[in-house]
Structure 1
Amino acid sequence: MKLHEYQAKQVFADAGIPTPPSTLAKTADGVVEAADEIGYPVAIKAQVQVGGRGKAGGIELVDDAEEAREAAESILGMDLKGLHVDSVLVEGAVDFVNELYLGITMDRGEGKPVAMVSTKGGVDIEQVAEEDPDAIVREHVDPAFGMFPYQARRAVFEAGVDREVATDVASVLRTLYQLWADNDATEAEINPLMVTADDEVIAADAVMNIDEDALFRQPDLVEMEDTSAGGDELEAKADEYGFDYVRLSGNVGIIGNGAGLVMTTLDLVDHYGGEPANFLDVGGGAKAERIANALDMVFSDENVDSVVFNIFGGITRGDEVAKGINSALEQFDEIPKPVVVRLAGTNWEEGMEILNEDLVTIEKTLEDAVQRSVEYAQEVDA
């Protein structure tokens, strides 16, 4: 479960992490009223659970009431990466001299939580990790003991944080770890943690995602769950259908049966120069109706330019999958996006014979299927 920025900031502030003054608003009048009360300049930030809001026009810095109203009318109601914006956070602007990144997540390779610190805050941490991995300091934590003060200090100093604020940053890092542990979070991030000219540190953004399997232990957080139309409608639809689904930022839709198989497909899409649009696991024993529902979901994502099916039949039968694909696609006068199918395992040959080649492209190997789907997506972008 993902918290909105304003919700995560409230959790952080309650734990003692400094945050800017802010107010949630749903109308232009509410935005102006909140901005007048906070004092200009203010940032107006779309409250949708997606990254890159600033680049997509979802964050604006304004200096007076007229600009605040214009920004509110522009952002409220906009479609931001497929999500409808129905509320904004009006927040006091921070006059900063430096931006840091702090994050806590689980390092599955090490089997331990890991704290991350970087002086390259304010940009996508994935971009930093790719372009300059040494700019991110990692400190693994034994969950039996929690984060010791010396670990937080070591991570902060190794990252090169200025001595004037290092103690405060280390304190925020320890608090962030404790919030991560206490709230059964999968991720907790501050990006950026801003440093002011007066050597104050302020969390200008906040991310906290909660492990859905642990929600029974977090009743207060459950009450924060966004079930409105402003949330991710595709993920809501995935819950309705009973799929394991994660929306990503690319344009190659991926459908498979089994988490490992889907992850392999994601990796291959990336390997062949494409960008995955989603993780969608239909599970074992998928019948025709379930396959049709999966296609409906992926077609509903406006970012998807092509779809690749990777189905290995164990419990799932290839002929049932083929019937589901045909059934879903036959509903369209024109196929909205090219579909590439690779079947293997139980009844795969029968499935291949059933598939309507006027509706799909069939490939015998996973590598060929992924390459073809990436090519289709790139042709759309060209």
Structure 2
Amino acid sequence: MNLHEYQAKELLKRYNVPTQEGVAVSSVDEAINAYKKISVDNGTKFAVIKAQIHAGGRGKGRMIEVPDQSGVVVVKNAEGVENAAKNILGNTLVTIQTGPAGKKVSKLLIAQDMYYDGPSERKEFYMSVLMDRAKKQNVIMYSTEGGMDIEEVAHNTPDKIYKEWVKPGFPLQGFQARKIAFNLGLSGTAFKNMVKFVSNLYDAYVGLDCSMLEINPLFKSADDKILAVDCKMDVDDNSLMRHADLADMRDKSEEDPTEVEAGEHNLNYVKLDGNVGCMVNGAGLAMATMDMIKLAGGEPANFLDVGGSANAQTVEAGFRIIMKDPNVKAILINIFGGIVRCDRVAAGVIEAYNKLGNINIPIIVRLQGTNAEAAKELIVNSGLKVQSAILLSEAAQLVQDAVNAN
């Protein structure tokens, strides 16, 4: 589950991670009032307005409706706040991570200006914490070259990206935190503050069950404070049973509507770019099915796992979701009957087909396992335009033939 910047910063504060102060707003009037508070509290006329969407590259992004307006802007008076808020709120921001469709901006973060002293005294770093699956350990990645061009730094000068691994179940050790601060070239007060920052940041990563926690830029101010100026936080969905308050932070408007609908029916759905809709029970079988589709020359349009309790309702919901994708030219249903009975799935397919009506794309069904023969008989005698297959390779070829025929 992705979180907005303002949400992530509030969570970091629970772990004593210093952050850039700010106020989340959803209207122009709220933005002006927040600016007045920020400017008074920090003794400066400058503030930063940040579009709140689940995507990076906001500073380099552009609003579709106002092409010369980016998603991050520095303002120095209430008039600037009003103009920027009007240009950004309710409009669509396109960044390198959103794709050409962009994302609608419904909230802004009015944040304090961090650049209040000479440039020679301040510094931007990069830091993230995530799982290194190859080493089966958490890893802290960090660099002296933080800011908007970190992707170019990683690509062109990978030697400037440092890594520190931490064994699961163990805290970040003191010597590791000091090593990180040393590699970032810090000394004195800034060194001590960085050691505390890194230790608390790692505690937040573990305590919040994050799958990724990124701070960019990680800022050293002219007076040696260390703060998170921007934060991207992904929380492992599987941990939300332990974090009811985090589950309430989910912003469904930022997610794919079909994936949200699938979740409401307890279906695991991920949209892809192909033209063959897949409905399968079990993640492993789903991956194998997609592989077979590609080997047959097709392209899967989605990953859809109906789980081990497939019935008429879940099959119908799966059909509805798959058919919302206009690129789908055929549907392959591949069910292995272990826990679930194949005849029950077949009955669900028939019921869903009749209920939905007007299904004018080919449907291929492969049912193997418990009561597979009874299931095939149900499909054959249904009178529906549904093709049945025994082998997975046969099913994949039938799908490809159907796609080519269209």
Structure 1 Cα separation of the partners of residues 149 and 351 of structure 2: 41
Q: By how many angstroms is 1:182 displaced?
A: 2.2
TM-score, normalised via structure 1 length: 0.69
1:46 aligns with 2:66: no
Whichever residue aligns with residue 91 of structure 1, its letter is A
1:91 aligns with 2:115: no
Match of 1:59 in 2: 71
Larger Rg: 2
Q: By how many angstroms is 1:69 displaced?
A: 3.1
Task: Give 1:116's match in structure 2, choosing from 126, 135, 141.
Answer: 141
Whichever residue aligns with residue 18 of structure 2, its letter is P
Q: By how many angstroms is 1:23 displaced?
A: 0.9
Whichever residue aligns with residue 311 of structure 1, its letter is N
1:208 aligns with 2:236: no
Structure 1 Cα separation of the partners of residues 390 and 156 of structure 2: 35
Structure 2 Cα separation of the partners of residues 269 and 98 of structure 1: 50
Q: Deviations over 1:9-35 (max 9, x none)?
A: 011134332322211112122123323
Whichever residue aligns with residue 92 of structure 1, its letter is Q
Match of 1:161 in 2: 184
Q: How many corresponding residue pairs?
A: 364
**TM-align CA RMSD:** 5.1
Alignment of 1:1-382 (within 5 A): 1-38=1-38, 39-47=45-53, 49=54, 55=61, 57=63, 59-63=71-75, 64-75=80-91, 85-95=105-115, 99-119=124-144, 121-122=146-147, 136-155=161-180, 161-163=184-186, 168-183=193-208, 185-195=209-219, 198=222, 200-218=225-243, 220-222=245-247, 224-226=248-250, 233-245=257-269, 247=270, 250-252=272-274, 255-263=279-287, 279-300=303-324, 309=332, 311-315=334-338, 316=340, 331=356, 333=358, 343=366, 345-346=368-369, 347=372, 350=376, 365=392, 369=396
Structure 1 Cα separation of the partners of residues 230 and 393 of structure 2: 40
Match of 1:380 in 2: none
User: Where does structure 1 lack aligned partners over 5 or more consecutive residues?
Assistant: 377-382
Q: By how many angstroms is 1:299 displaced?
A: 4.5
Structure 1 Cα separation of the partners of residues 161 and 331 of structure 2: 34
Q: By how many angstroms is 1:192 displaced?
A: 1.0
SS in 1 for 2:308: coil
| Compared CA separation, residues 76 and 271, structure 1 to 2 (3 A) | same
SS in 1 for 2:110: strand
Confirm or deny: 8 A CA contact 1:341 1:363 kept in the other structure. Answer: no
Q: By how many angstroms is 1:137 displaced?
A: 3.8
Structure 1 Cα separation of the partners of residues 47 and 298 of structure 2: 40
| Compared CA separation, residues 257 and 107, structure 1 to 2 (3 A) | farther
Structure 2 Cα separation of the partners of residues 196 and 273 of structure 1: 53
Whichever residue aligns with residue 86 of structure 1, its letter is S
Q: Deviations over 1:202-252 (max 9, x none)?
A: 323223344455445445545x4347756665454334212234x57x534
User: Where does structure 2 lack aligned partners over 5 or more consecutive residues?
Assistant: 39-44, 64-69
Q: By how many angstroms is 1:61 displaced?
A: 1.6
TM-score, normalised via structure 2 length: 0.66
Confirm or deny: 8 A CA contact 1:32 1:68 kept in the other structure. Answer: no
Confirm or deny: 8 A CA contact 1:323 1:354 kept in the other structure. Answer: no
Confirm or deny: 8 A CA contact 2:5 2:231 kept in the other structure. Answer: yes
Which moves more between the two structures, 341-350 or 10-19? 341-350
Q: By how many angstroms is 1:270 displaced?
A: 9.8
Whichever residue aligns with residue 161 of structure 1, its letter is L
Q: Percent identity?
A: 28
Match of 2:42 in 1: none
SS in 1 for 2:49: strand
Confirm or deny: 8 A CA contact 2:143 2:162 kept in the other structure. Answer: yes
Whichever residue aligns with residue 184 of structure 2, its letter is V
Confirm or deny: 8 A CA contact 2:124 2:217 kept in the other structure. Answer: yes
Confirm or deny: 8 A CA contact 1:29 1:69 kept in the other structure. Answer: no
Confirm or deny: 8 A CA contact 1:193 1:201 kept in the other structure. Answer: no
Confirm or deny: 8 A CA contact 2:363 2:386 kept in the other structure. Answer: no
Confirm or deny: 8 A CA contact 2:127 2:143 kept in the other structure. Answer: yes
Which moves more between the two structures, 148-157 or 352-361? 352-361
Whichever residue aligns with residue 52 of structure 2, its letter is A
Whichever residue aligns with residue 273 of structure 2, its letter is N
Structure 2 Cα separation of the partners of residues 124 and 356 of structure 1: 60
Which moves more between the two structures, 193-202 or 121-130? 121-130
